[in-house]
Amino acid sequence: MTFRAPMPTATRRRVNEPFPAKPWSRWLLRAGLAAPFVVIAVLLIQDSALLSRSVNGTVEARVDTIDWGRADLNWVADLYPPFGTLLVQLIPGGAAGLSIVGALAAGWFLQYLIQTLRERRWQRRNIVLTVLAVGGNPVFAYLVVGDLLGFLGLASFSYGTIEMYRFIMRRNTDAGFRAGVWFLICSLVDPSGLLLIVVAMLTAPALTVARANERGARLANIAVIFYPTIAAAATIMLMQAIYLNDPFALYSRAITYSPENWSVFATLFTTPGGWTTLLAALFGAAVAALGRRYVLAFIAPLVLVAILLGRALGLVPLQGVGYVLLTTTMIIVTLLPSLSGRLRRTGVSVVLCAFIVLGWVTGLVRAPIVEWFVSFTGGIA
């Protein structure tokens, strides 16, 4: 079963139409959306102990151990993920600087989300609810302030799925190349990006091809979108195999496997945090079903399995939370076309409201975010 491409209409907005139309208005919107997260970042970086325990602090400590005077292949393996490592090295201020950059990037991310939903002709009500479901909860704030690389991985994955939709279902050639670049960035900015790329690869064949009457169009689309990522991975593995006799040397350093890590699957059914994670996948499937995109409904559980597998392999940091909630929300929203029918739009509104509540409940039952809140309220006091 596959998606049906939306029928073209005379009132459809052009692809990637800027919103707001004037550049100064867009920057003002981005600044307004980023402002709350900048305030939170400024307050939280005052707690140096909490900052050092965050994902940003852990990444900073790892990058500080790299010998930048070397240039051998073992050194290249130490850089993985290379884009993320270079960003951490170049951004001044250590973990505090990463928090500020993440807060600023959140404004850009949410503005582009609004622009995309307007392009799909979503109702204003559902656009507002989507922005609140994604960015109006402590889980999103915790991610952008405490885990810059994880957030950039999620953002690049989301941008890639948006462009993949435009390329496959709306025949926008430029979007195919943009999708390839975004997925490449996703795979090289954070270790969790590897699993997100696998999810994207499994999602792509489920999209209805606009050029379905052309032989081999589906395979050609997938090749265009994922060629940069596959080519980069193949090149890295070939170099590692030739010079280090281990094609997986770079990736194996990113994996911190322990048999105890598999207990993360059991926590789904035994802890409040696990229950909220399951609900995130179920709500994502419900939104897809309401939009009559039944194949997409199976992607939400796939995201859940991928993120949990990432935790078991050490690709997703243990102190990071909310990956399933935010990734599920973004992949469902970015791949749904315009919604027709009052009942269907109302049903999506109800599920989005449930996502908003779930985001806050997740923040109240996850220990890292609770500790984060305590520090936040202490900073205000």
Q: pLDDT tens digits for 23-63?
A: 899 999 999 999 999 999 998 888 888 888 888 998 999 89
Please tell me the predicted confidence (pLDDT) of residue 196: 86
The mean pLDDT of the chain is 82
Q: How confident is the model at residue 266 (pLDDT cuts 50, 70, 90)?
A: confident
Please tell me the predicted confidence (pLDDT) of residue 215: 64
Q: How confident is the model at residue 7 (pLDDT cuts 50, 70, 90)?
A: very low
Of these ranges, 11-15, 70-74, 261-265, the one predicted with the greatest mean pLDDT is 261-265
Residue type present at position 291: G
* pLDDT over 60 at 13, yes or no: no
* pLDDT over 90 at 192, yes or no: no
Cα–Cα separations (whole angstroms), residue 2 to 208, 210, 288, 381: 6, 12, 12, 54
Structure tokens at 133: 């479901």
- pTM recorded for the entire structure: 0.87
Q: Which residue has the tokens 């049906």?
A: 4
Please tell me the predicted confidence (pLDDT) of residue 337: 64
The whole-angstrom separation of Cα 81 and Cα 76 is: 10
Q: Which residues have C-beta within 8 Å of that of residue 52, sequence separation ≥ 6? A: 61, 95
The whole-angstrom separation of Cα 116 and Cα 72 is: 43
The percentage of residues in the chain with a pLDDT greater than 90, rounded to a whole number, is: 22
195-237 residue pLDDT tens? 888 888 888 777 665 555 666 677 888 888 999 999 988 888 8
Please tell me the predicted confidence (pLDDT) of residue 105: 95
Please tell me the predicted confidence (pLDDT) of residue 312: 80
Please tell me the predicted confidence (pLDDT) of residue 9: 44
